[in-house]
């Protein structure tokens, strides 16, 4: 009887042990499947892996002190749907922009805000970037658009009609351009060149977009850079299309304009430095800013229906 009880106890212990092992493995596999897996190798090796697998590269550029960066790592990168998508379609690379090769990479990618999320081709060319926190769904939409594989209700790429002879025009390439005005003059229309490169201003109430309410996306008419979403556009009596915020922080940049005896802040395209308009402090919430833009400097792509 004692031997039978001992055998039964041993059998129960064995079953508990086996169950525990398999439960641990299942939990580990589930955990791995629910997180975006980032490569721990060098950037050079990441690009080599991307070429070998014919995949694009997803980059998480972060700093240890950045609170939104930590939120991305704790929430977005652990989103099961986002993890499955990125682990399948991308080689994922996470890099601290304040350490080792991350410092030089941040300069190369022109990172000007954190967290910076980038999509690169297998040669390291930046196809798209995003600055700031985004949830799992938003991250998939961002990457899907860059990869040309999105199901979101975002805009079609702006038509290249009228830009056939402009080799720098792209709705996805965010590489900083350094093109002379002489070169731009050969590919831009006279009206666009006068405003975008010579800082002219179109007459108020004359532009095609100043009172448009169509949902979609606005791009730089010179280089195709993504600038504004129609969600940020508001009715203004100034006679020019007005927005309360750009699509992302580095979509535009600013410089002082003291022409005509008055001080204003000029808004320029973040990719090609073309003149877009000016920014004022009389806009609606939440920013209370008014990006007063020239219609001629904008291309527009309506949302899918």
Cβ(299)–Cβ(189) below 8 Å: no
Catalytic, 223? Answer: no
Q: Computed from CA positions of residues 237, 239, 243, 244, in that sequence, does the dihedral angle turn out positive or negative?
A: negative
Helix (H), strand (E), coil (C) string for 124-173: CCEEEEEECCCCHHHHHHHHHHHHCCCCCCCECCCCCCCCCCCCCCCCCC
Burial 58-92 (b: 16+ CB within 10 A, else e): bbbbbbeebebbeebbeebbebeebbebbbebbbb
Which of the 8 DSSP states describes residue 238?
A: T
Alpha-carbon distance 48 to 53, whole Å?
Answer: 9
The angle formed by the CA atoms of residues 245, 251 and 254, to the nearest 5 degrees, is 80
- Phi, psi dihedral angles at 206 (to 5 degrees): -105, -20
Contacts of 287 (CB under 8 A, 6+ apart): 244, 245
Please give the Cα distance from 100 to 231 (Å, whole number): 40
Q: What is the CA radius of gyration of the chain?
A: 25
DSSP secondary structure code for residue 247 in this structure: S
Query: Tokens 């070169």 label which residue?
Result: 183
Torsion of the alpha carbons at 20, 23, 29 and 32, rounded to the nearest 10? -80
Residue numbers annotated as active site: 292
């Amino acid at each position: 009887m004692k031997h039978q009880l001992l055998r039964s106890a041993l059998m129960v212990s064995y079953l508990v042990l086996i169950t525990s092992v398999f439960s641990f493995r299942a939990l580990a596999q589930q955990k791995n499947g629910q997180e975006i897996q980032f490569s721990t190798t060098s950037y050079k090796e990441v690009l080599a892996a991307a070429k070998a697998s014919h995949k694009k590269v997803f980059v998480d550029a972060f700093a240890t002190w950045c609170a939104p960066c930590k939120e991305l790592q704790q929430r977005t990168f652990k989103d099961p749907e986002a993890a499955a998508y990125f682990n399948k379609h991308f080689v994922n690379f996470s890099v601290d922009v304040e350490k080792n090769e991350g410092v030089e990479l941040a300069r190369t990618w022109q990172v000007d805000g954190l967290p910076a999320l980038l999509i690169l081709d297998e040669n390291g060319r930046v196809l798209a970037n995003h600055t700031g926190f985004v949830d799992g769904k938003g991250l998939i939409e961002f990457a899907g658009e860059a990869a040309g594989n999105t199901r979101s209700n975002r805009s079609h790429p702006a038509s290249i009609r009228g830009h056939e002879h402009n080799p720098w025009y792209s709705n996805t390439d965010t590489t900083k351009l350094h093109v002379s005005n002489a070169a731009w003059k050969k590919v831009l229309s006279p009206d666009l060149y006068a405003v975008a490169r010579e800082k002219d201003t179109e007459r108020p109430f004359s532009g095609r977009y100043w009172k448009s309410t169509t949902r979609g996306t606005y791009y730089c008419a010179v280089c195709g850079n993504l600038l504004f979403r129609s969600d940020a556009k508001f009715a203004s009596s100034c006679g020019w299309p007005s927005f309360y915020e750009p699509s992302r922080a580095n979509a535009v940049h600013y410089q002082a304009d003291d022409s005509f005896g008055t001080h204003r802040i000029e808004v320029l395209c973040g990719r090609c430095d073309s003149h877009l308009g000016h920014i004022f402090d009389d806009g609606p919430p939440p920013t209370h800013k008014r990006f007063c833009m020239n219609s001629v400097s904008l291309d527009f792509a309506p949302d899918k229906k």
